[in-house]
């Protein structure tokens, strides 16, 4: 029973908030990407195709090297997608790709549901419009805290909460 109480306490908003405060002291706050189950299933299928097809083929280069590289990139995307909010910019990690968005250039954020490609592993996304109509989507696990940290650096940020 004591284990269950500790588990419930470890998920409490106060502990999560204190963790966020400690992370802010280090100069940035890191938000891992939310990961949907169907997206995980899709990544598993891709991994099977990338690492399973080379075993079944006689062709060496086309069926071994290329799927192997694609499989490694797929693993990087799954395990290295997240968002780091620093004092002046949001650093977006999406596998081997790193994007930087200055917080003062962010004009609008909107809650959206979209399965389309972007540095996000969930359909529950935040669309970010910045730098004269550039647009990208992110899917931080804790969307409200992500927006709160952005608003601390850019109080003029417009938030569209349409569902």
Q: Which residues, in sequence order, are CB contacts of 159 under 8 Å at separation 6+? A: 108, 109, 110, 147, 151
Q: What is the pLDDT of residues 73-97, one digit of tens each?
A: 888 998 999 999 999 999 999 999 9
> In the predicted model, is pLDDT for residue 157 greater than 60?
yes
**For the chain, what is the mean pLDDT?**
80
Give the strand pairing for 89-94 and 97-102: antiparallel
Confidence of residue 48 (pLDDT cuts 50, 70, 90): confident
Asked whether 138 and 119 are in contact (CB, 8 A), the reply is yes
Q: For residues 132-142, give the mean pLDDT.
A: 92
> In the predicted model, is pLDDT for residue 55 greater than 70?
no
> In the predicted model, is pLDDT for residue 15 greater than 50?
no
- pTM of the predicted structure, to 2 decimals: 0.74
- Print burial letters for 47-83: b (CB count within 10 Å at least 16), e (below 16): beebbebbeeeeeeeeeeeebeeebeebbebbeebbb
Higher pLDDT, 118 or 21: 118
CATH of 2-32+80-160, one of 2.30.29.30, 1.10.10.10, 3.30.70.260, 1.10.357.10: 2.30.29.30
Using the structure block, give the residue that is written with the tokens 């979209």.
Answer: 114
């Amino acid at each position: 029973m004591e284990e269950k109480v500790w588990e419930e306490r470890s998920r409490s908003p106060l502990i999560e908030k204190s963790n966020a405060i400690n992370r802010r002291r280090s100069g940035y706050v890191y938000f891992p990407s939310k990961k949907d189950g169907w997206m995980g299933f899709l990544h598993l299928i891709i991994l099977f195709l990338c690492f399973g097809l080379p075993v079944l083929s006689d062709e060496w280069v086309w069926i071994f090297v290329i799927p192997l590289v694609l499989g490694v990139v797929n693993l990087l995307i799954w395990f290295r997608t997240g968002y780091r909010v620093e004092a002046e910019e949001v650093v977006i990690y999406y596998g081997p790709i790193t994007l930087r968005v200055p917080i003062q250039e962010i004009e609008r954020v909107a809650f959206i549901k979209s399965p389309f490609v972007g540095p996000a592993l969930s359909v529950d996304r935040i669309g970010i419009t910045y730098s004269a109509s550039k647009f990208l989507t992110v899917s931080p696990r804790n969307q409200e805290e992500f927006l709160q940290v952005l608003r601390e650096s850019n109080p003029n940020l417009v938030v569209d909460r349409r569902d």
